[in-house]
Chains A and B, each alone.
Chain A
Amino acid sequence: MPDPLLPEPLLTVRGLTIDIPVGGGTLHAVRGIDFDVNRGETLCIVGESGSGKSLTSLALMGLLGGRIDRRAARMEFDGIDLTGANKRTMRALRGDRMSMIFQEPMTSLNPAYSIGDQLTEALLLHRDISRDAARARAVELLEKVGITAAASRLGQYPHQLSGGLRQRVMIAMALMCEPELIIADEPTTALDVTIQAQILRLLVELGREMNMAMILITHDLGVVARVADKVAVMYAGELVETGSADEVFNAPMHPYTRGLLRCIPQPGKTERGARLGTIPGIVPSLVGKVSGCPFRTRCDQVVDACRQDVPHRHPGAGEHAFRCVHENGLRAGGEVVT
């Protein structure tokens, strides 16, 4: 029930579905997911490899390949309907009001152009601004992301920078037009832990400063816990649990979320050298008809009813929601293992 007193979310997604034609039929990669992102808020999407995180972000940006079928009951960015948006509308939004940071900066930085040219491109395209003013803004942002001798970097080329510096350039580039929404797909996965912490800290600080909303995609639960306001746990193309970071980490309900948290060694909590929790089995194939709970092949709480449609459940007063046949995510008589 939308609260009339609350402002409309910046981004609303309802029933996002992504189908990909593959050799043996159709891959139902993302199936009817719902989420909202408010202004200035950080949503983390976490899930294992192949769960559909990158496809979801590309769908929002209108960057899916032509063969891929994307549908949604509703997909709105600040009141603009993205489901029917044409190429021109999307191009006008991208890099200006919403921008994206990819995992591997070398795939999105063009090796043939200088850092300065690439940084200023979006600004020159979207704003009525002089070349000098754009370069001044580029230097300002490079300094903001902690790059020393920023002015002299403008003439450098991507291959002359280390991985950590390139990732910073990517962030600066995404921020050039002060977007309202940033989608960052594994922005720090390839980096050292110290650099990762520095870059995440920077993103959080800049986000706050510019009241920017962020969708951060990662498979690292530590990153999620430290950065997220809201968390969406993705498994095999569905959001199995969503809620505030506090709800999802401190009161996880879905068997998959609970399982994930048992798999990682938690310093101070897990006994050193003790056996870790596991989630045996592998992700099911999503080619052809997919029905019931996608986690049932690996779930320790599975019952016959898991083959049928699985309800959304709302355990508390807040936005916390999960999908499971069991009211509290546990089979009758089941016990929470921590």
Chain B
Amino acid sequence: MTATSKAETPVLELRGVTKTYSVKQGLFGTAKPLTAVNDVSLSLGRGQVLGLVGESGCGKSTLAKILLGLEAPTQGEVRVDGERIDAADRRKLARRIQPIFQDPYSSLNPRKSIEDIVSLPLLVHDVGDSASRSKAVREILDIVGLPARVMQTYPSQMSGGQRQRVAIARALIMKPEIVICDEPTSALDVSVQSQILNLLGDLRAEFGLTYLFISHDLAVVEHLATRVAVMYLGRIVEETQVADLFDTPRHPYTQALLKSVLTPDPGQGVPDTELGMEYPNPIAPPPGCHFHPRCPVAMDKCRTDRPYPVATPDGHVECHLFGGEQTQPTKSA
């Protein structure tokens, strides 16, 4: 279940991470727990790109926020280079893990110049003097392919692709080890998306960066990721190497996801995903396997017993088709 050999400490590790929100339905409804991330364990080696996929509301962004220290896990722990990080160490965490978010329009302060936006992390962490910060900004802008003259301009004067480059420059100026990309290209046109994907690939090669790459575009994930984790209702239901996942998808949900990829091949029509259509209610998740109401191959057991992770040659899958029963629950369940 780990992405690295035993000898090497994973650069990023999650152990039994759970996040439960309390949500109120309606004005006078009573608060009910909603488990957005449910006992997730993952580990990621240096230089890897973990693609995280799954439908809207499955918990991808919540997981990203926990890694960034923006949300505290209800249970479990996050380790960076083997060292346990608490949300209280947010500043420390921010030096090593930086985000790039989806929307290059709202994630940049419109009243700040590009120089101010990109140098802010240096200021917050009290790095260097104003001259050296300015130099650092110029260098990082060059790396992300923006001319130094944009330093005095404002986000509103830039295109979507340029803004996303600014967001990437801001994320990289602290020389983080890990970059959390939450749908970094979803708001961009394909002609701009490819430039950003190339840039992310180049930066990884050059600086040995590790990425968590959240995307709903499976073709992009297949292209960029080295490993892929498939999330469903807060659980990682399958995690493995990219080629293994796309060549031999095991979990029925993974299979449905791959079936729904529309490659630009005319004449092939729209495939039947064979997936039930109703989203599960995250406040009252279905018993047994959370996926069973939509699963085309659900068995009796799936309706009553929850499956547990089963090791596969390169990762794990959580489905009764592959075993997955366990008499004792895992430590944190």
Residue pairs across A and B with Cβ atoms less than 8 A apart, 28 shown, are A148-B278, A164-B277, A193-B216, A195-B55, A195-B277, A197-B271, A204-B270, A221-B190, A222-B219, A222-B264, A225-B265, A226-B265, A246-B266, A249-B264, A260-B190, A260-B191, A261-B264, A262-B194, A265-B219, A267-B219, A267-B261, A267-B263, A270-B223, A272-B222, A276-B194, A277-B194, A278-B194, A278-B195
Interface residues in B246-298 (C-beta closer than 8 Å to A) = 246, 256-257, 259-273, 275, 277-279
Q: How far is the CA of A197 from the CA of B218 in the complex (A)?
A: 13
Contact B269 A197 (CB under 8 A): no
B193-A263 in contact (CB<8A): yes
Cβ of B224 under 8 Å from chain A = yes
- Complex Cα gap A262–B242 (Å): 22
Binding site for B on A (CB under 8 A): 48-49, 146, 148, 162-164, 192-198, 200-201, 204, 219-228, 245-246, 249-250, 259-268, 270, 272-273, 275-280, 282
Contacts of B260 in A (CB 8 A): 193-194, 196-198
A48 touches B189 (CB 8 A): yes
Given contacts A194-B55, A282-B159, contact A259 B191 (CB under 8 A): yes
Known: A148-B278, A194-B256, A267-B261. A227 touches B270 (CB 8 A): yes
Bound form: Cα–Cα A222–B263 in Å: 5
* Chain B residues within CB distance 8 Å of chain A: 55-56, 159-161, 189-191, 193-195, 197-198, 201, 216-220, 222-224, 242-243, 246, 256-257, 259-273, 275, 277-279
- Given A197-B273, A270-B223, A273-B224, are A249 and B191 neighbors across the interface (CB < 8 Å)? no
Is B190 a contact of A267 with CB atoms below 8 Å? no
Chain B residues with Cβ under 8 A from A267's Cβ? 219, 222-223, 246, 261, 263
Residue numbers in A under 8 Å from B271 (CB-CB): 197, 201
What 10 pairs across the A-B complex have the smallest Cβ distances? Answer: A222-B262, A265-B223, A245-B266, A197-B260, A279-B191, A263-B194, A276-B194, A48-B189, A192-B55, A225-B264
Kindly report which residue of chain A lies nearest to residue B188, judged by CB atoms.
A49
Cα distance, A261 to B219, chains bound together (Å): 13
Instruction: Chain B residues near A280: list those with CB within 8 A.
Output: 195
B261 to chain A, nearest CB (A): 7
Q: How many A-B residue pairs have CB under 8 A?
A: 136
Residues on A with beta carbons closer than 8 Å to the beta carbon of B220 = 265
Contact for B266 among A219, A226, A276, A278, CB less than 8 A: A226
Chain B residue contacts of A268, Cβ below 8 A = 263
B277 touches A219 (CB 8 A): no
Residues of B within 8 A of A221 (CB): 190, 264
A residues less than 8 Å from B259 (CB atoms): 197
Chain A residues closer than 8 Å to B201, beta-carbon distance: 273, 275
Q: Are B264 and A264 in contact, CB atoms less than 8 angstroms apart? A: yes
Compute how far the CA of A226 lies from the CA of B259 in the bound complex, rounded to whole angstroms.
Answer: 13
In angstroms, how far is the closest chain A Cβ from the Cβ of B317?
A: 18
Partner of B262, one of A219, A225, A249: A225
Q: Which of B189, B243, B269 sits near A219, CB closer than 8 Å?
A: B189
A225-B268, A264-B190, A279-B194 known; 7 new pairs, CB 8 Å cut-off, are A148-B278, A162-B279, A194-B55, A197-B259, A198-B275, A267-B263, A278-B194
Q: How far is the CA of A260 from the CA of B269 in the complex (A)?
A: 21
| Closest chain B residue to A229, Cβ basis | B266
With A226-B270, A263-B194, A266-B219 as known contacts, state yes or no: A272 contacts B242, CB within 8 Å: yes
CB-based nearest A residue for B269: A226
Select from chain A the residue with minimum beta-carbon distance to B186. A189
In contact, B266 and A225 (Cβ under 8 angstroms): yes
Chain A nearest CB from B158 CB (Å) reads 9
Contacts of A193 on B, CB cut-off 8 Å?
55, 216-218, 257, 260-261
The residue of chain B having its C-beta at the shortest distance from the C-beta of A249 within the complex is B266
**How far is B189's CA from A282's CA once the two chains are assembled, in angstroms?**
11
Given A193-B257, A196-B260, A263-B193, decide whether A275 and B198 contact each other with a Cβ distance below 8 A.
yes
Q: Which chain B residues lie closer than 8 Å to A164 at the CB level?
A: 277, 279
**Of the candidates A49, A192, A259, A264, which one forms a contact with B216 in the assembled complex, judged by CB atoms under 8 Å apart?**
A192
**Residues of chain A with a CB closer than 8 A to B266's CB:** 225-226, 228, 245-246, 249-250
In whole angstroms, how far apart are the Cα atoms of A277 and B190 in the complex?
10
Q: How far is the CB of A278 from chain B (nearest CB, A)?
A: 5
Tell me if A222 and B261 are in contact (CB < 8 A).
yes
CB distance from B294 to the nearest CB of A (A): 9
Chain B residues with CB under 8 Å of A277's CB are 194
Chain B residues with Cβ under 8 A from A246's Cβ?
A: 266-267
* B195 with A266: CB separation less than 8 A: no
Complex interface: chain B residues within 8 A of A49 (CB): 160, 189
* A261: nearest chain-B partner, CB-CB: B264
Which of B55, B159, B189, B266 lies at the interface centre, i.e. has the most chain A CB atoms within 10 A of its CB? Answer: B266
Q: Which residue of A lies closest to B53 (CB)?
A: A193
Q: Let me know if A224 and B264 touch, CB within 8 A.
A: yes
- Please indicate the chain B residues that have their CB under 8 angstroms from the CB of A224 in the complex: 264
Nearest CB on B from A31, distance (A): 20
**How far apart are the CA atoms of A148 and B293 in the complex, in Å?**
13
Shortest distance between the CB of A125 and any CB in chain B (Å): 30
Closest B residue, CB atoms, query A259: B191
Which residue of chain B is the closest to A250 with respect to CB atoms?
B266
Chain A residues whose CB sits within 8 angstroms of the CB of B56 once the complex forms: 163, 192
Of A194, A225, A249, which is in contact with the most chain B CB atoms at under 10 Å from its CB?
A194
Cβ–Cβ contact B261 & A48, under 8 A: no
Q: Is there an interface contact between A273 and B273, defined as CB atoms closer than 8 Å?
A: no
Contact of A266 among B256, B263, B278 (CB under 8 A): B263
Q: Which of A163, A259, A263 has the most CB of B within 10 A?
A: A263
